[in-house]
Structure 1
Amino acid sequence: MNTQALLFEAEKALLPIFSGIDTQVKQNLKKVLTSFRDRRVGVHHFASVSGYGHDDLGRDTLDKVFADVMGADEAIVRIQFVSGTHAIASALFGVLRPGDEMLAVAGAPYDTLEEVIGLRGNHHGSLAEFNIEYRQLNLTLDGNIDWKNLETAIKERTRLVLIQRSCGYSWRKSLSIDDIEKIITIVKRQNPETICFVDNCYGEFIEEREPTAVGADLMAGSLIKNPGGTIVTSGGYVAGKAELVEAAACRLTAPGIGSSGGATLDQNRLLFQGLFLAPQMVGEAVKGSHLIAYVFEQLGYPVNPLPLEPRRDVIQAIQLGSPEKLIAFCKAIQRYSPIDSYLEPIPAEMPGYESKLVMAGGTFIDGSTSEFSADGPLREPYIVFCQGGTHWTQIAIALEAAIEAVGVNF
């Protein structure tokens, strides 16, 4: 097997796809530039305040820019969100009340939300402890939304529908914006008051529209994923209808403080610049995902999504079939990471996850999944999930080592 020849063939075959991605990047960047111009963003917005964070002009302007770009009424962008899970939890606790029901319509939620909901763990303040009921609409046998049962799934007490855009650690197709719009239409037809909430992690800037632009009432995500442009050091965002965003802000801070609190601690310039870079960085990650899928399908491994398919997030999954290959793959990626390349990934417990994880992520921002990383839970069928990438060429270099590490699957 000639690894370099295989990669060269893949790169040549993907050139038309890469050109289309560049066109998508241009459209999303235009949205960002338009908002920067309309909101008159200037160097004075890079200044910050300390303490309570009152009257932070840069932060307040960034909130408006995010809302513009996401097609939302309002948004809060805060470094006080420690992760995407924290932003999602703040949104859920902000709008749900005892006796309400939350319905997940895309199957089981991402691992880190299980303890938030109260499905496992010690239930330290989970939704279940607050008497908020949870129900799940399982996927069909072929891994799709159960559209038929969704038509009658909304009950009187269903206060909120959870729509997880990305596949997470499951072997299913991530949702397109058209899918999300269809879900929202079906839900609102049954009960216009039911809140449609989207876990938007890994999905920002994949398409020209975001969930809040097609009817989602609320959504949340992480700044060390797509919208941080690989340079934001921490934080998350919530966007959507004004009263719901403020409810989430009050959960993050406190009632009466809400969105008026949260100092940005001299991070405003990075937050603005990260958003400016985000469409390009997402484009590079998407190119990398196409390359990974093309090469590993040629090697005989099941991949999701398939080569040449339109992308719906920045995650590319490969079913490796054994713990040894999963670990070997991650070790190879780590060796070609810019940071900590000398370390070897070892499977270990991680807060919020049910299974041990093996993670390759030699990134400039610790845990950043907008930079190139690969990880997976040590459970059958031993799937590695690759995500992010500041430029697809680094992914191509790392893939040479990964191919040698796991070999063919014929």
Structure 2
Amino acid sequence: MSDFFRIDPRIMQLAEQAEQIAAQKFAEIDANAAYNGEKVLAAFIKNRVSEPCFYGSTGYGYGDIGRETLDKVYAQVLDAEDALVRHTFVSGTHALSVALFGVLRPGDKLLAVTGKPYDTLEEVIGISGTPGNGSLMDYGVEYGEVPLTGGGLPDLDAIAQAVPGAKVAYIQRSRGYSLRPAYTVEQIQEIVQTVRRVSPDTIVMVDNCYGEFVQRREPTSVGADLIIGSLIKNAGGSIAQTGGYIAGRKDLVELCSYRLTCVGMGKEVGCTLHQNKEMFLGLFFAPDVVANALKTAAFAAELFRLMGFDSYPALSETRGDIITAIRFGTPELLTAFCQGVQKGAPVDAFVTPEPWDMPGYTSQVIMAAGAFTMGASIELSADAPMREPYAVWMQGGITYASGRIGILLAAQEMLDRGLILK
């Protein structure tokens, strides 16, 4: 029972059962967090992080020791040759866009080898939006896709046939607004090996958003040339206020830095405006924060399974990211879940989320996101396009206690509306 929130005893009984079933999974999550925490600590120590690294710079940002050290720490943690970590990346999509424009040239081919990319990249690529808006296709970049198998897995045979001649093989690790699985590092390794076998010069680029620290290795550990992510998701540990990263091969990171700033200056400029400390501290906390998000996800998956709903992934499946998709089947259930999650948020709990025309998305989106940092989906949030199969994509939970309450309040909202446990 809770002394502070009204939760029906039937929901509490199911919650206790879900936690008992999930106990072994929780132990595995904690073990991974301990390993990744040691990895981060070792990188801080080896790269001589010190208080001057936390000072910000202004103007051109020449000689910013914090910026330069943060890049080195990220590179070591992510098993990469180099990294570009900046608060001036406004989102994961922005960092991905910089990476794509950084390495692709007119006449090159971009091949998405894990099906259609996330909605917000459609206009970046040019497969939607207004012609002439400056997309990759406007600049003469050819685009192709390799569909997934019927089970939502990469089609390795089809990739091998399609990838020769492609400049970039693009992998989206997370599921986006689909019910296919998020890919593990081991599955990404299979894609990398397939590409290398038939087209060794093709650049393998991975959208790593939501995947950092979920496992003990990252895609760069198994041969990916570039990985990209957002600091208001896993890697920022809920402390970084904004930003993103690009990590991987040194020559490619340099090309990306030319796109972010300008050719010839690249990583040597860019003031940090007193953001360094938050980015260092966020990375330091990230393994444990990701563990809390994973526990929240595992708990939600099992709780709603006990209520009769399908979750993706199920508790027993190996995770590739922090997201749990729950199929509700009706707009009423979906809306009630999101509005219940909002009631458990530490910020803006009094707000009622409603579907709206969110920039970059083709369908109306409902989003529960009461966060200390706006849009930070490492904090408990739930969002979904208002379309079939009326599934919600839930992620985050910077503490397990708060994440658990948010999930329970979502269930309570559904019960209050007479939609469950009839």
Same fold (TM over 0.5): yes
Q: Which of 127, 146, 161 is residue 136 of structure 2 equivalent to?
A: 127
Paired position in structure 2 for 1:397: 405
1:191-240, CA deviations, whole angstroms, 9 ceiling, x for partnerless residues? 11100000000000011111111101111110000000001000000001
Secondary structure of the corresponding residue to residue 324 of structure 2: strand
Report whether the alignment pairs 1:370 with 2:378: yes
Paired position in structure 2 for 1:193: 201
Q: Which of 136, 149, 152 is residue 140 of structure 1 equivalent to?
A: 149
Paired position in structure 1 for 2:6: none
Paired position in structure 2 for 1:54: 62
Shift of 1:409: 8.1
After TM superposition, list the pairs within 5 Å mapping 1:2-401 onto structure 2.
2-123=10-131, 124-156=133-165, 158-401=166-409
Contact 2:237 2:378 in 1 (8 A): yes
Secondary structure of the corresponding residue to residue 170 of structure 2: strand
1:63-117, CA deviations, whole angstroms, 9 ceiling, x for partnerless residues? 0000000000000100110000000000000000111111111111100011111
Secondary structure of the corresponding residue to residue 162 of structure 2: coil
Q: Larger deviation: 140-149 or 205-214?
A: 140-149
CA distance in 2, matches of 1:141, 1:186: 19
Report whether the alignment pairs 1:408 with 2:408: no
CA distance in 2, matches of 1:383, 1:19: 28
Contact 2:189 2:219 in 1 (8 A): yes
Contact 2:22 2:315 in 1 (8 A): no
Contact 2:209 2:228 in 1 (8 A): yes
Shift of 1:38: 0.6
Contact 1:144 1:173 in 2 (8 A): yes
CA distance in 1, matches of 2:18, 2:367: 26
CA distance in 2, matches of 1:400, 1:289: 12
CA distance in 1, matches of 2:106, 2:69: 35
CA distance in 2, matches of 1:262, 1:352: 27
CA distance in 2, matches of 1:353, 1:409: 33
| Identity within the alignment, % | 46
Q: Larger deviation: 303-312 or 201-210?
A: 303-312
CA distance in 1, matches of 2:92, 2:216: 21
Over the residues paired in the alignment, what is the CA RMSD in angstroms?
A: 1.2
Paired position in structure 1 for 2:4: none
CA distance in 2, matches of 1:96, 1:151: 21
Contact 1:103 1:160 in 2 (8 A): yes
Shift of 1:302: 1.5
Contact 1:301 1:409 in 2 (8 A): no
Secondary structure of the corresponding residue to residue 152 of structure 1: helix
CA distance in 1, matches of 2:153, 2:188: 13
**Unaligned runs of at least 5 residues, structure 1:** none
CA distance in 1, matches of 2:120, 2:272: 26
CA distance in 2, matches of 1:275, 1:185: 30
Shift of 1:401: 2.0
Contact 2:396 2:403 in 1 (8 A): no
Contact 1:78 1:236 in 2 (8 A): yes
Secondary structure of the corresponding residue to residue 149 of structure 2: coil
Would you say how many aligned residue pairs link Structure 1 and Structure 2?
Answer: 409
Contact 2:106 2:139 in 1 (8 A): yes
CA distance in 2, matches of 1:378, 1:210: 33
CA distance in 1, matches of 2:402, 2:232: 19
Contact 1:300 1:409 in 2 (8 A): no
**Unaligned runs of at least 5 residues, structure 2:** 1-8
1:11-47, CA deviations, whole angstroms, 9 ceiling, x for partnerless residues? 1221121111111001001111101111111111111
Contact 1:300 1:408 in 2 (8 A): no
